[in-house]
Structure 1
Amino acid sequence: MIAEAAKPLLYFTSEAELKQLIHKGVLINGGKTWFSINKKGEHHEMISVAECLDNSRLERVKPRYRLQGETKTSVSYLAYEIEDGMWACELFQFTSDSQFVDLEILFEGFDQYYESIFVQGIEFRPMEKVEHKDENQTISDSDAYCEEELPADYEDIMKWSTDIMQWTTKKEAYSIIRKGFLIDDGEKWFFLDKKGKKCHKLSAAYIRFKEAALLSSSGFSFKCEIESHLLSPQTTYATYLVYKYLPENQSRFEGPMKVRDNLVGVDYWYVYLVSPTTPVIRPKADQNTHNPVHRPKIKCIPQQRNDGWIEVQIWEFRTAATIEMVPIDFYVESGIHIPWAVRPALPYKKIPSFEGLVIQGFEVRPT
């Protein structure tokens, strides 16, 4: 059936060759649909914009949308890069019941201060099962393993502790450093990751916050220097903001947040403090109306920690063979620009602000 509908015609000599062609993808429906099948036999379709949009409309649309017949609109801020320099953003999730569905999506305009985008087409992609990496996997407790993973300067590291550390074997020393301890008068928490790389957490006070307390401003900055002896050489590190927010203030943080590197000036990027969600089409009685966006591996999306806090990756850097002091100076603000002239007409909770955000600190660990 698919082979007969393909344009141009497919040439194959066996069923295996046909499956390989369809796995790579073929054009059907007069060249308006790109069709492929994944390893599980699930269908993957990309419908061209000419088939999706009215001929009377341009191919330039705004990222605010809703289903025909519904009044509630959704906004898709999060995009991820795919092949050929194109980008994709998730609009809806749904469960296929093998029936034909007439799906009409309306893209609505924002106010003039929002950018618009150009659309290539609408893609229907099966959701792959996400395998979460177990960060708490069992570590070998053999004497040989512990001795191998201990940093060469572990005895000096022990002296950094705010409290007096006692150990009789290298295995005990490794266990202590692996769990971590306070250093520098309690302003930093030092520990080792499962590969024996140096990690540490900077307190809110150390990164120029007065305390792990509620913020109320429209933006905040954090500035510090990471000392060379707290890092492992020739290692790629990620820096994470560790925080919480009051449930009643969650709506303030649902859009993207803009992070600017003050040391560079013009360099900035976007992160999320609340995981983006995707509306579910016709959810069943026991289903959520919104599910987490199906892109959990994107670095800018926050993750729940085992200690009850939330973290999001802010920055990434690599240390040299000879480590020098690493300066950090970032400013975080709302990624949604709203002119001051428009703000008086907006509901209070729609005005960009970090009210209700609780900052615990800043964690640095290898990727």
Structure 2
Amino acid sequence: MKLEGDVDSADISDLNSSHCVLLTEGCVSYVLPHTSPRDACRASLISKGVRRFANSDVVWERFLPADYEEIISRSVSPVNYSSKKDLYFRLCDSPIILDDGNLSFYLHKQNGKKCFMLGAKALSVAWSTSVFWRYKYSPQSRFSEVAELVAVCWLEIKGRIKTSMLSSTTRYAAYLVYDIGPLSCGFDFPAKTLVRHVDGTKDDDDDVAMTVVYLKPPNTHSETIRVVPHKRADGWMEIELGKFYNDKIDGEVDIRFTETCQLHWKSGLIVEGIDIRPINEEE
């Protein structure tokens, strides 16, 4: 016989379940902004209530850079989005072109860190104002023009980026993004790369820190070749130029790719730019 005020086990189970859901949603609303985009996406599968918090602007604005509004205001075309989550993935999947059209910005999908690509016309290219290089439209490029090498024996490409533009306390790598035309020549020889914080080091000391790379690795196997080019998802090739840790508030990073020793004639190189992005956590 059930007396007035008695609560059976089913009622207690329902009550505990309700409290558990409320507690879970309350915890999630507090914890999620301090996690990662991947965690937020996973949490959205727990329940409808949790999904509401996991997809909210409060959560996803924390994953965007603090200066994201200033950055997208510099886009050469409007950046449309329906929510902060939509904006996050829009910036991950579709780089935006900034300022004068020679700089692109996107987010690293895993952690929301800032990534930039310096377009070919934002780079310092030796002999680029002469008949040895030409700038042309490429339908495969995010930029209006890429640089195509007609013929040089002295190949030198440099780029610089301010550390304040990048995410702080983050390990980055810089990559030359390029292609090689069917009538190319001169890229079976080693080139040198250098990535460093600008701190007044003399040019005479640069050769010590340089890395040897091949845009077209030789057919013979060699254990000394540690950096090889890779095919990107967008169809371009890329080769790592070097890594650096960004812990400087005010400074610059100097990035170089050179082949000025062998002095063989080279032609057919097509340069889209230099991509600067965080290193994956597992690397």
Alignment partner of 1:203 is 2:134: no
**2:68 corresponding residue in structure 1:** 154
Query: TM-score w.r.t. structure 2 length?
Result: 0.61
**1:311 corresponding residue in structure 2:** 238
Deviations 1:47-93 (A, max 9, x none): xxxxxxxxxxxxxxxxxxxxxxxxxxxxxxxxxxxxxxxxxxxxxxx
Query: Aligned-residue CA RMSD in angstroms?
Result: 3.0
Deviations 1:135-154 (A, max 9, x none): xx9x9495267444222222
Structure 2, gaps ≥5 residues long: 1-37, 45-53, 129-134, 136-145, 196-200
**1:171 corresponding residue in structure 2:** 85
Verify the 8 A CA contact 2:104 2:116 in the aligned structure 1: yes
Matches within 5 A, 1:55-204: 140=41, 143=55, 146-178=60-92, 179-194=94-109, 195-204=111-120
**2:48 corresponding residue in structure 1:** none
Determine helix, strand or coil for the equivalent of 2:71: helix
Do the aligned partners of residues 263 and 331 (structure 1) sit closer, same or farther apart at CA in structure 2, a change above 3 Å counting?
farther
**1:362 corresponding residue in structure 2:** 274
**1:272 corresponding residue in structure 2:** 214
Verify the 8 A CA contact 1:225 1:325 in the aligned structure 2: no
> Match of 1:255, as an amino acid?
F
Deviations 1:189-210 (A, max 9, x none): 1001121110011111111245
Q: Distance in 2 between matches of 1:188 and 1:196?
A: 18
Do the aligned partners of residues 168 and 214 (structure 1) sit closer, same or farther apart at CA in structure 2, a change above 3 Å counting?
closer
Q: Distance in 2 between matches of 1:269 and 1:294?
A: 14
Verify the 8 A CA contact 1:199 1:230 in the aligned structure 2: no
Determine helix, strand or coil for the equivalent of 1:248: strand
Larger RCO: 1 or 2 (CA < 8 Å, sep 6+):
2
Q: Distance in 2 between matches of 1:169 and 1:229?
A: 27
**1:253 corresponding residue in structure 2:** 187
Q: Distance in 1 between matches of 2:204 and 2:115?
A: 27
Deviation, structure 1 residue 263? 5.5
Verify the 8 A CA contact 1:231 1:323 in the aligned structure 2: no
Determine helix, strand or coil for the equivalent of 2:205: coil
Structure 1, gaps ≥5 residues long: 1-136, 280-292, 338-350
**2:34 corresponding residue in structure 1:** none
Deviation, structure 1 residue 180? 1.8
Query: TM-score w.r.t. structure 1 length?
Result: 0.48
Q: Distance in 2 between matches of 1:168 and 1:260?
A: 41
Determine helix, strand or coil for the equivalent of 1:277: coil
**1:328 corresponding residue in structure 2:** 254
Q: Distance in 2 between matches of 1:157 and 1:329?
A: 23
Q: Distance in 1 between matches of 2:96 and 2:165?
A: 13
Of 229, 233, 238 in structure 1, the residue corresponding to residue 173 of structure 2 is 238
Verify the 8 A CA contact 2:74 2:98 in the aligned structure 1: yes
Aligned-pair identity (%) = 31
Q: Distance in 1 between matches of 2:194 and 2:70?
A: 36
**1:213 corresponding residue in structure 2:** 147
Verify the 8 A CA contact 2:241 2:256 in the aligned structure 1: no
Deviation, structure 1 residue 223? 3.4
Deviations 1:202-241 (A, max 9, x none): 1111112453233211123233431344200011111111
More helix per residue: 1 or 2? 2
Verify the 8 A CA contact 1:238 1:315 in the aligned structure 2: yes
Verify the 8 A CA contact 2:55 2:85 in the aligned structure 1: yes
